[in-house]
Amino acid sequence: MRLKLILALSLFICMTFSLAKDQSHPLARGRRRGVGPKRARKQTSITTLQQGRLPESNGQDGSIFIESHKNTKEPKPDYGATAGKSEHCVFRGITMYDKTVWSPKPCVNCLCSSGEVVCDQILCPALRCQLKFQRIGECCPICIDPVVDAPEYSGDSPAPNDLAEPYTRISQSQKDRQKKDEQERIRKKDADRKQRKKQKKEEAERQRKLKEAREKEEEQRRLREEEEERAAAEERKRRMEEQRKAEEDRARRLEMEQKEMMRALEEAAERAQEGLRGDEATEDEDEVWLRGDVFQMPPVPPTRAAGPPLLALQEPTEPDEEDTEPGEEEPEVVEEESEMVTTSLPQGCSISDVSISCENAKLTGIPPLSIPELKSLSLQGNEIKTIPAGAFNGIPNLEWIDLGKNKILSSGIDPQAFKGLKFLSRLYMDGNLLEQIPSELPSTLQELKINENNLKEIEENSFEGLSSLVTLEMEGNLLSEGHVNPQAFKPLKELTYLRLSRNHFRTIPQGLPASLLELYLENNLIEDISETAFNHTTNINVVVLRHNKLDESSIAPFTWINHRNLESIDLSHNNFYLVPSFLPKSLVHLVLVGNQIERIPGYVFAHMEPGLEYLYLSYNKLDGDAVEPESFFGTFNTMTELCLDHNQLTSIPMGINEMTALHFLRLNNNKIRHVSEDAICDPLNDDDSHLVALRLENNFLDPRKIPPTAFSCVRSYSSVVLKPQRIK
């Protein structure tokens, strides 16, 4: 009995020692294989198996179980076995102790049981969370939502450390609330995004409409300004034309009235002499009337007339007769004299209607006149040197004063001389000795002529207050670009006509007014035209630059090519060897007479719209090679007058037969020897004849050899000039 007890105790001790050894070896192997915190679930399963208990949960609450382990029978102790002896398993060449658990790959666990390897796959728990995460090297995902309503641990349920993977439970209401919040947040975000997108779209649409409105308003304003400028230009032209016609009519009427007046004066003088012979008592009562009751001419000149001698209508009386009339009648005579001096004219003057002419009357000063109705006063061709302050006090309604060809100095003009003339519109001071523009000129002045003087400088305030000035002429002076202030023309808001010929300009003067329509700079020393010369004069219509020192390289490419109103340019008598390029697009009239032009480049007129109509190339050096096939391209439907006379052409230039609008053609004084059938007229063109005049005289033509149809496009053969021809 004691022996059995000792044997049983020894066997128990051996089994206990073997079991302890089996428990220590797997843990050691796990450490060598790198089993760390990530394999906590596997270690938990091993511990559970070694303790001989498995969770009985069916896996619905997240517990991990291995189905094959449930059916494994616990081996009964073999008391007959040798102490320390146990069964092992060999897996992929590795020896595993009995009851060892390992994981050959994720989600698969294996168990060494009695020499056999039993493997099973781990089942992942069903997670009820929104956000899940699967760690690297593990097979089951975990929840990453915040921990909400975690169940308390009780002794009857397995502890969290005993589970294969920790997780968090979230109640269904909390999940629904979170889902609704997330949906609401997404909805608000989408709504905000749509609202911002809608606002951006509305803002873009508003900006587009605003931009379109601004562009439309700007276009309307530009069109309105152009229309106003065009209307103003037309109105100015019409007004100037009316003034010119009125002046011509007035001059004709003045001439006729002067003749009538002289005849009437002669008749009145004869009647006065007859009256003196017949009855001297009635001498003081006789009066001569001219043109009704406007002007009264006394038969006897007043005895107290100051200044130049007054016009007498009768022979002067003897000195003793004048002295015998003193006495009590003297005050009456003085009173009568004061009335007569207002209507008396100096010798050599004539009156007609509301005009007085004292031209070439040898006057040395402004005559003292007191005729409020007077509108026009001509004092041309006298010897006037000064203009005092009250020179025009008696004729305040003057509209036109001509002081040309006198000896007036700038220092002899009082600053207040013209100030009282509130209706003065034209002032002519040509041919004097002025060195500067007169000051304090009336603001009503529309035309100012100071040609042929000694003007050397134009200061900034020279034209101050002349905002109504339309025409300004300063030809034949000593002006140059260095002595013309760029701000001098600024007050001239209405200036359209400017003449600066016969001066010393080398370039275009700066500061020209924007209202300028016509500019005349002939007979200067101009040798360069910059790109900015006409930047401000965008409405200019006529530019005359003849008799200067220009050539094709003197004009900058963009000087006037983009001008829309420049229609006429005169470049005659300069130094051009080619027809200049970059001419204005709007050009209609081009004059290049008297240059050295040898060639017309191709397409030089092609950019013009609508096209060139008048081209004058007379007196140049055009020869047989001067005209290219494309030289007149762009003028075939617009050219009206073409002058190529006095050159060295040997044949009819190409392209003339294509000019369907050509009316006048001059080819005289060249070296043309032959006229082909289609050189001037296109035989394929069945339109009506358009050539009005054709000149071919002074060439080397034989009229008998000209084809009969060569002039078929000429309206009348009588308008073709062929004679004389030169002798070969």
Question: Residues 157-185: what's their mean pLDDT?
Answer: 63
Q: Give the confidence band of 155 by pLDDT, cuts at 50, 70, 90.
A: very low
More confident residue, 9 or 80: 9
| pLDDT over 70 at 471, yes or no | yes
Distance of alpha carbon 488 from its chain centroid, rounded?
25
Q: What is the pLDDT of residue 109?
A: 84
d(CA 51, CA 23): 10
State whether 596 and 567 are in the same domain: yes
| pLDDT over 70 at 328, yes or no | no
Q: What is the pLDDT of residue 46?
A: 42
State whether 80 and 104 are in the same domain: yes
Among 41-45, 84-88, 141-145, 371-375, the range with the most confident prediction by mean pLDDT is 371-375
Using CB atoms within 10 Å of the CB of residue 195, give its burial: 0 to 12 exposed, 13 to 18 middle, 19+ buried.
exposed
Among 18-27, 126-135, 255-264, the range with the most confident prediction by mean pLDDT is 126-135
State whether 100 and 229 are in the same domain: no
Which residues have C-beta within 8 Å of that of residue 449, sequence separation ≥ 6?
404, 427, 428, 429, 430, 471, 473
Kindly report the pTM of this predicted structure. 0.56
Quickly count: other Cβ atoms within 10 Å of residue 496's Cβ.
Answer: 23
State whether 113 and 135 are in the same domain: yes
| pLDDT over 50 at 320, yes or no | no
Q: What is the pLDDT of residue 387?
A: 94
State whether 123 and 181 are in the same domain: no
| pLDDT over 90 at 573, yes or no | yes
| pLDDT over 50 at 325, yes or no | no
Q: What is the pLDDT of residue 314?
A: 32
Domain presence at residue 380: no
State whether 160 and 291 are in the same domain: no
State whether 141 and 271 are in the same domain: no
Q: What is the pLDDT of residue 97?
A: 83
State whether 32 and 60 are in the same domain: yes
Domain presence at residue 508: no
Q: For CA atoms 13, 15, 20, 25, give the dihedral sign.
A: positive
d(CA 658, CA 604): 17
Q: What is the DSSP letter of 172?
A: H
Q: What is the pLDDT of residue 366?
A: 92
Q: Give the confidence band of 277 by pLDDT, cuts at 50, 70, 90.
A: low
Report the candidate in 29, 19, 89, 84 with the shortest Cα–Cα distance to residue 49: 19
Q: Give the confidence band of 265 by pLDDT, cuts at 50, 70, 90.
A: low
Q: Give the confidence band of 317 by pLDDT, cuts at 50, 70, 90.
A: very low
More confident residue, 157 or 127: 127
pLDDT tens readout for residues 651-679: 999 999 999 999 999 999 999 999 999 99
Show the tokens assigned to 667.
């080819």
Q: CA dihedral in degrees (672, 676, 680, 682; nearest 10)?
A: -170
Show the tokens assigned to 271.
């009647």
Q: Give the confidence band of 355 by pLDDT, cuts at 50, 70, 90.
A: very high
Q: Which of 139, 170, 201 lies at the terminal end of a domain, its last residue?
A: 170
Domain presence at residue 539: no
Q: What percent of the chain has pLDDT over 70?
A: 73
More confident residue, 65 or 556: 556
More confident residue, 121 or 625: 625
Domain presence at residue 491: no
| pLDDT over 80 at 540, yes or no | yes
Structural domain harbouring 278: 173-316
Domain presence at residue 520: no
**Range name among 85-89, 212-216, 700-704 with the lowest pLDDT average:** 85-89
Quickly count: other Cβ atoms within 10 Å of residue 728's Cβ.
Answer: 6
Q: Give the confidence band of 341 by pLDDT, cuts at 50, 70, 90.
A: very low
* Average pLDDT for the chain: 78
Q: What is the pLDDT of residue 284?
A: 42
| pLDDT over 80 at 579, yes or no | yes
Domain presence at residue 694: yes
Q: Give the confidence band of 98 by pLDDT, cuts at 50, 70, 90.
A: confident
User: Mapping DSSP to helix (H, G, I), strand (E, B) and coil, where does residue 409 land?
Assistant: strand
Q: What is the pLDDT of residue 131?
A: 74
State whether 155 and 187 are in the same domain: no
Domain presence at residue 27: yes
| pLDDT over 90 at 588, yes or no | yes
**Range name among 118-127, 265-274, 431-440, 618-627 with the lowest pLDDT average:** 265-274
Pinpoint the alpha helices (H) of 539-654: none
Pinpoint the alpha helices (H) of 57-171: 67-70
Q: Give the confidence band of 23 by pLDDT, cuts at 50, 70, 90.
A: low
State whether 221 and 302 are in the same domain: yes
| pLDDT over 70 at 319, yes or no | no
Q: What is the pLDDT of residue 137?
A: 66
Q: What is the pLDDT of residue 321?
A: 38
**Range name among 31-40, 436-445, 584-593, 615-624 with the lowest pLDDT average:** 31-40
Q: What is the pLDDT of residue 74?
A: 45
State whether 240 and 114 are in the same domain: no
Q: How many domains does the chain have?
A: 3
State whether 586 and 722 are in the same domain: yes
Q: Which of 316, 350, 376 lies at the terminal end of a domain, its last residue?
A: 316
| pLDDT over 70 at 113, yes or no | yes
Q: Give the confidence band of 37 by pLDDT, cuts at 50, 70, 90.
A: very low
Q: Which of 264, 288, 316 lies at the terminal end of a domain, its last residue?
A: 316
* CATH number of the domain to which 641 belongs: 3.80.10.10
| pLDDT over 70 at 628, yes or no | yes
3-state secondary structure 583-595: CCCCCCEEECCCC
Q: For CA atoms 390, 395, 401, 402, give the dihedral sign.
A: negative
Q: Give the confidence band of 517 by pLDDT, cuts at 50, 70, 90.
A: very high
**Range name among 169-178, 284-293, 561-570, 695-704 with the lowest pLDDT average:** 284-293
